[in-house]
Structure formats: C-alpha cells, structure tokens
C-alpha cells in the first residue's frame, strides 16, 4: 500500500459526460501528479501540482482540468468524454516539487467511456 488513495476505483460513463476523479496524497507529500495509462499511448504525464499551485502540464487535453485543494487532495475533471478517454488514470504523490523525488502511485481509477 503506497499510502496514496484514489476514488472511485472504476467508473463507467457515456460519451459527452463529465466525471471527477479524486486523489489523496501520502501524508506529508505536497506534490500530486496525474498520469493516464492507455494501451496505445502507454503511461503519459498529464499535470503536476505542488502545494496547491500548478507546476507543470504534459499532454493534457483542454477538456481536462485539475486542481489541488488546501488539504492537498486533488481532483481531475474530465468533460465532454470521448471513447478514446477510456484509460487507467493514476495519481502519484511525492514529498518535493522537483523530479528528484520518487513518486508513489495510487491504485488508479479505471474509466470506461461507452
């Protein structure tokens, strides 16, 4: 158990809908990262927050947004969902804001868009 929690574990929804994925980092970690894992794209970085502020953006679509709250939990919002958004979404946390620190991953949320 990495100490990172993600809810829900599974999510099934329809095209055009909006969903919110939630992540709670390990105690003491200030950084939260979001990654998407799909068969064709592999593991791709979406976005990084450190202590409530956005630090870096990766291949995140405009239909996707995220935020980190004062209690450090984070939410990833996915809207106008398409079939191709079906994937495993991971949240990871680390203690620092730089890439030097290992990231600990949550169990993931499996999103299925029908």
> Is there binding between residue 73 and other proteins (CB under 8 A)?
no
In the complex, the smallest distance separating the C-beta of residue 96 from other proteins, rounded to whole angstroms, is 9
Is 107 an interacting residue with respect to other proteins (CB under 8 A)?
yes
The SS3 of residue 85 is helix
Does residue 100 touch other proteins according to CB under 8 A? yes
Beta bridge pairs of residue 23: 6, 74
Q: Is 99 in the site for other proteins (CB under 8 A)?
A: yes
Q: Which tokens is 40 given?
A: 């064709």
The nearest distance, CB 19 to other proteins, in angstroms, is 19
- Asked whether the CA dihedral 33, 111, 82, 77 is positive or negative, the reply is negative
**Binding site residues, other proteins, CB under 8 A:** 2, 31, 33, 35, 42-45, 48, 55-56, 58, 88, 90, 92, 97-100, 102-108, 110
């Amino acid at each position: 158990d990495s100490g990172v929690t993600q809810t829900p574990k599974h999510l099934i929804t329809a095209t055009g809908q909006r969903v919110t994925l939630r992540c709670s980092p390990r105690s003491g970690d200030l950084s939260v990262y979001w990654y998407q894992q799909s068969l064709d794209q592999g593991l791709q970085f979406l976005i990084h927050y450190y202590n409530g502020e956005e630090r870096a953006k990766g291949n995140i679509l405009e239909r996707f947004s995220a935020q980190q709250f004062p209690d450090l939990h984070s939410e990833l919002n996915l809207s106008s969902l398409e079939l191709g958004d079906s994937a495993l979404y991971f949240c990871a946390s680390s203690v620092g804001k730089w890439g030097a620190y290992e990231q600990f991953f949550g169990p993931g949320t499996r999103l299925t868009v029908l």
